[in-house]
Amino acid sequence: MTLADSSPQPQPQISAPDAEEAKRARTRRIEKTAKWVLPFAMAILAIVLWDRIVVWNEIPHYILPSPARVWDSLTGDWDILWDAALLTGRITILALGLAVLGGAGLAILFNQSKMLELSFYPYAVILQVTPVVSIAPLIFIYVDSKIAGMLLCAWIVAFFPVLSSTTLGLNSVDHNLRDLFRIYGANRWQRLTMLQLPSALPYFLGGLKIAGGLSLIGAVVAELVAGTGGIGSGLAFRIQEAGYRLNIARMFAALSLVAAMGVMIFAALSIFSHLMLRKWHESALSREG
Amino acid sequence: MPLPAIDQRSPVLRMANVDKVFGGVVQALSGMSLNINEGDFISLLGPSGCGKSTALRLLSGLLSPTAGRIEWAGGYQKGDLGVVFQEPTLMPWATVGKNVSLPFRLRGKSQKAVQAEVEEALALVGLEGFEDSFPRELSGGMKMRVSIARAMVTRPRLILMDEPFAALDEITRFKLNNDLLALKERIGCTVVFVTHSVFESVFLSDRIVVMAARPGRVIREVQVAAPYPRDEVFRTSADYAAYCRQASEALQDAMEAA
């Protein structure tokens, strides 16, 4: 049988690429560079423009600080901001972890028992569609620990995308594979671990990426509602506090850290997702030719 | 007890007067009887809606009959059955080796314990050395070969194939037809093969069960007495043409009967 033989044929003489090919190659090269250069150029342009507007219009720094002032605040207040970032980061990551456990766990539970799903799924939706800002004050009345309250807030926001996308994934098993498992007499556990969970993985990872951003939002909202109280202060609290003191530069500095944290979480989850899927899933394949 | 001479006709599975009604109204299959004996290569041939796929699902145990009986000679054991669907139906996240070992692993055996069987099955379909590849790295024809390797790795008493080559191009399909027959010679498996191609059914099988639709039923059986092994010579012979005509006429009757 000659399935595997792909013995290299003597290549016909390769002629110079025609004009269309050359044009396409050039476009590709330019786009590749532009992908990195353009965002940076835009950022520099925006910062310069920002600086000029402040200087030319003599805007006082308690209304709009210049980029240099924000930078000074970022470096000068680094100790305060870093501690705040650590706290917010910790809450975010913990909440994300709990959201993964809770969301994926509930999805598996619902998948295994239709009755459980019918009983509880509507409440998961209600929890999701109720704005967390309006639930948070209640949570802090009944939950003594600030940390626990903040975690709960962030979890409420973040678990649903994991739950709904994992549920979708568990139900998206190729029906022929499902039949195959039945014919070969797979039990419930084998079906779950060898068929449904791997099928659900790409969906779960999609939900995880959304949950990463949402858990940061949840953590920030929770901080704003909880205020400070003996547990140190996170970035959101620092923003609020700086606002009261008209320290606008520090507000910008803290805000940029929140944004950076969001980007980092997204990037980390994207890399994680790529590593998990690169061997087999369509989304992780680079097209050849 | 002396070993009996290898009896090509020892029964494997029997369908007796099987009816299947869906939702209390749609008669998918009516009074179908079929005796499957060891070494048979039976094709179910018919227009769409004639119940051939329903028959296959009944044989595989995915459906149970509304009336009538389906009986395995000597009772059904796990591993008595191998199936090949129209699509390769491989697990994209698992390597070729893990896909092929699936029937064993579902019976609680470890990948290691069945390594030899997996390698042998892959060699039989011409895919030695592809154990660690992922399905996406293979062509359509190669994926189908993996699917066949998985169906036969446990050496089941019966292999069910549901239009396995329908989605492949003609050249690949011819090649796989040849290879399937070679495989059957090697391991002597029993096959029930659903197809809507007259030529394929004549080339492959020794019995063609022609079915008609509304309700799905058997209207004729065509015996293809040409001996195995069959090869390209058979494909161009007058015999082959005659059997094809016979099967075509039966199929024509089936369409008119509907």
Residue-wise burial string across B189-226, b where 16 or more C-beta atoms lie within 10 A, e elsewhere: bbbbbbbbbbbbbbbbbbbbbbbbbebbbbbbebebee
Q: Each residue of B47-58: pLDDT tens digit? A: 888 888 899 999
- Any bridge partners for residue B160, and if so which? B83, B192
Provide mean pLDDT across the span B33-51. 91
Predicted TM-score (pTM) of the model is 0.84
Q: Each residue of B117-173: pLDDT tens digit? A: 999 999 999 999 999 999 999 999 999 999 999 999 999 999 999 999 988 898 999
Contact assignment for B85 to A180 by CB distance below 8 Å = yes
Pairing status of strand B191-195 against strand B217-223: unpaired
Q: Rounded to an integer, what is the distance from CA B19 to the centroid of its chain?
A: 21
pLDDT at A7: 45
Cα(B82)–Cα(A180) distance, integer angstroms: 9
Q: List phi, psi (to 5°) of A165.
A: -75, -35
All domains of chain B in start order, with CATH: 1-80+158-169+192-258 (3.40.50.300)
Cross-chain CB nearest to A183 (options B83, B135, B179): B83
Q: Each residue of A94-112: pLDDT tens digit? A: 999 999 999 999 999 999 9
pLDDT at B3: 47
At residue A14 the predicted structure's pLDDT band, cuts being 50, 70 and 90, is: low
Provide mean pLDDT across the span B14-42. 91
Percentages helix, strand, coil for chain A (3-state, rounded to 5) are 80, 0, 20
A184: closest chain B residue by CA:
B103
Q: Each residue of A141-150: pLDDT tens digit? A: 898 888 888 8
At residue A19 the predicted structure's pLDDT band, cuts being 50, 70 and 90, is: confident
3-state secondary structure of A285: coil
At residue B65 the predicted structure's pLDDT band, cuts being 50, 70 and 90, is: very high
Angstroms from B171 CA to nearest CA on chain A:
13
At residue B233 the predicted structure's pLDDT band, cuts being 50, 70 and 90, is: confident
Chain A residues in contact with B107 (beta carbon < 8 A): 184-185
Per DSSP, the residues of A16-28 read: PP-HHHHHHHHHH
Cα(A64)–Cα(A103) distance, integer angstroms: 42
Per DSSP, the residues of A65-130 read: --HHHHHHHHHHTHHHHHHHHHHHHHHHHHHHHHHHHHHHHHHHHHHH-HHHHHHHHHHHHHHHHS
Chain A residues in contact with B132 (beta carbon < 8 A): none
Contact assignment for A183 to B107 by CB distance below 8 Å = no
At residue A11 the predicted structure's pLDDT band, cuts being 50, 70 and 90, is: low
Question: Is B10 in contact with B38 (CB distance < 8 Å)?
Answer: yes
pLDDT at B55: 93
Q: A67-284 has which CATH code?
A: 1.10.3720.10
Cβ–Cβ contacts within 10 Å for residue B14, how many? 16
A187: closest chain B residue by CA:
B106
Query: ipTM of this model?
Result: 0.89
Question: Is B145 in contact with B125 (CB distance < 8 Å)?
Answer: yes
The average confidence (pLDDT) of chain A is: 88
Q: Each residue of B169-210: pLDDT tens digit? A: 989 998 899 989 988 888 888 999 999 899 999 999 999 999
pLDDT at B1: 43
Q: Is B126 on the interface with A (CB under 8 A)?
A: yes
Cβ neighbours for B129, distance < 8 A, ≥ 6 positions apart: A4
Contact assignment for B93 to A181 by CB distance below 8 Å = no
Q: Is A276 on the interface with B (CB under 8 A)?
A: no
Answer whether residue B14 shows pLDDT above 80: yes
Provide mean pLDDT across the span A198-207. 95
At residue B4 the predicted structure's pLDDT band, cuts being 50, 70 and 90, is: very low
Cross-chain CB nearest to B134 (options A3, A186, A280): A280
Task: For chain A, list the strands marked E by DSSP.
Answer: none
Residue B172 corresponds to which tokens in the numbers above? 């690949």
Chain A residues in contact with B126 (beta carbon < 8 A): 1, 3-4
pLDDT at B228: 85
The average confidence (pLDDT) of chain B is: 90
pLDDT at A6: 46
Contact assignment for B60 to A176 by CB distance below 8 Å = no
At residue A49 the predicted structure's pLDDT band, cuts being 50, 70 and 90, is: very high
A200: closest chain B residue by CA:
B93
Question: Is A123 in contact with A227 (CB distance < 8 Å)?
Answer: no
pLDDT at A5: 45
Q: Is B64 on the interface with A (CB under 8 A)?
A: no
